Amino acid sequence: MESIYVTRPFLPPLEEFTEHLKQLWQTGIFTHNGPLLQQFEKELQDYLNIEHVVCVSNGTIAIQLAIKALELAGEIITTPFTFIATADAIMWEKCTPVFVDIDPETLNILPEQVEKNITAKTVGILGVHVFGNPCDIRQIDSIARQNNLKVIYDGAHAIGVMVEGKTVFSYGDISTVSFHATKLLQTFEGGAVITTNGSLAQKLRRLRFFGYEGRTITDVGFNGKMTEVSAAMGLVNLKYLDDVISRRKVLYEKYLSQLSACPRISFQKIDSQKFNYSNFPVIFETEQDLLRTKECLNKSNIFPRRYFYPSLNTLDFFPLKRSAPNSERIAKTILCIPLYDSMDEESVERVAQIIVDANEM
Ligand code: T4K
């Protein structure tokens, strides 16, 4: 029986990608703000209807670049229910993550917890749009304004998501996204830093490229560039992004209709005008239920993933210790089940049936 993984990358028609490779072979330009990168950034800006998209080598570097560009030094309030990269980026930039609890339904950081944990050392808020579900942007932006804090949104999963008629990336000071192989828009590895602020965008471009402004070195920068091969993949895949999202919607709704009959599981509450169906997380009543279900799926060669486990506030190497009961409980009881555009509907039915059977009692 063929294995079913939590995700598979979207693959465009190979000839559309090799067409771009021919150009690379002709020009010999592989990196350094080349023509394909410029075109990809322009097309992303048009797609998102936003002024500034700065592509980088991955979604982790994107967060680091955002922290650097905003010159944050101190405590950054963030969620413990995220991929480790979010908190790693904070630590690599010599800031301290302050983990505050999440809403157990939306799975996103709670604005009232953010507000409660602001101290004289707080310099910023790093919200994560978990599984593409937008944070409570209005409240977070307003808390930040009142307290003179910067806001970064880690939108690693959130390409294509809209809030109040605008891309989710248009809120806060800077948003970041990942174009990793496992993401809806993939460039092998890749990511972007997105802002509506022109001078910040210029600074992000400088920092991405060793601190150069033209031929002059003006800042301490680093190497965060995206290659032309990645940009080529992005250009091709962007054309298919809406189709990918539509296909995932069909599969997502199929899961939802089949699994809703199961009284012992629940689902993420989505708060978005236009969602992207980036994951299908299932929340169990207990960790035992999760482990039993996972074992049943594994026996049928189906490999879901425990995104995100453990809750980051429980890891010893983060300096500030805080409890976050909602996040700790959710991290122990949530499982992302397979969902990708090339998955067939029979496989969705099979995965859902195994979950229903494992939770009948
Ligand atoms: N912020 C958030 C909230 C994030 O979730 C992430 C990354 C980031 C920031 C940082 O963005 P990047 O620096 O990664 O651009 C995966 C991804 O590596 C990671 O991008 C993602 N989030 C995280 C949630 O998941 P793993 O350890 O689960 O990946 P892996 O290799 O086990 O892959 C999962 C499944 O995908 C496999 O079962 C098979 C399939 N797969 C994977 C790869 C790499 C493929 O079919 N082809 C592939 O090339 O981390």
Query: Is the distance from CB of 248 to CB of 341 less than 8 angstroms?
Result: yes
CATH value at residue 250: 3.90.1150.10
Radius of gyration of the chain (CA): 21
Give yes or no: residues 233 and 246 share one domain. no
Dihedral angle sign, alpha carbons of residues 35, 37, 43, 45: negative
Residue 280 has pLDDT above 80, yes or no: yes
Residues 208 and 324 in one domain: no
pLDDT classification of 1: cutoffs 50, 70, 90: confident
Domain termination site, one of 211, 238, 265: 238
If you average pLDDT over residues 31-37, what whole number do you get?
A: 95
Between the alpha carbon of residue 307 and those of residues 304, 313, 328, the distances in Å are: 9, 15, 12
Name the closest-CA residue to atom 23, ligand 1.
Answer: 83
CB 166, CB 58: distance < 8 Å: no
Cis peptide upstream of residue 308 (ω within 30 degrees of 0): yes
Checking if the pLDDT of 271 tops 90, the result is no
Whose Cα sits closest to atom 46 in ligand 1? 8
CA distance 86 to 126: 8
| Residue percentage of the chain with pLDDT more than 70 | 100
- The mean of the pLDDT values for the chain is 97
Output the ligand 1 site: residues, CB below 6 A: 5-9, 58-60, 82-83, 85-86, 128, 154, 156, 178, 180-182, 191, 303, 305, 307
Paired tokens of 254: 């199929």
- Exposure of 198 in the CB half-sphere (CA atoms within 13 A): 0
Residue with structure tokens 């189906």?
302
Residue range of the domain that includes 333? 242-358
d(CA 85, CA 87): 6
> Which of 238, 261, 296 corresponds to the end of one domain?
238
The domain that contains 66 carries what CATH number?
Answer: 3.40.640.10
For 323, the token pair is 């409890």
Give the nearest ligand 1 atom to 58 CA: 15
Choose the final residue of a domain: 204, 238, 272.
Answer: 238
| Structural domain contains residue 1 | no
pLDDT digits (tens, 9 = 90+) for 122-165: 999 999 999 999 999 999 999 999 999 999 999 999 999 999 99
Q: Which 3 state secondary structure label does DSSP give 96?
A: strand
Give 201-228 pLDDT, tens digit per residue.
999 999 999 999 999 999 999 999 999 9
DSSP conformational letter for 168 = G
Report the pLDDT averaged over residues 72-92.
98
Residues 58 and 175 in one domain: yes
Q: How far apart are CA 8 and CA 72, in angstroms?
A: 36
**Of all atoms in ligand 1, which is nearest to the CA of residue 154?**
1
Distance (Å) from CA 182 to ligand 1 centroid: 5
Which ligand 1 atom minimizes the distance to the CA of 5?
38
Determine the residue of 83, 169, 175 to mutate for testing ligand 1's pocket, defined as the one with the most ligand atoms within 8 A of the Cβ atom.
83
Q: Per-residue b/e over 27-52, b at no fewer than 16 CB within 10 Å?
A: eeeebebbebbeebbebbeebbebeb
Cα 270 from Cα 249, distance rounded (Å): 13
My answer on whether 87 and 229 are in the same domain is yes
Residue 116 CA, ligand 1 centroid: distance in Å? 32
| pLDDT at res. 26 | 95
Model confidence at 297, pLDDT cuts 50, 70, 90, reads very high
In DSSP terms, which residues pair with 305 in a beta bridge?
336
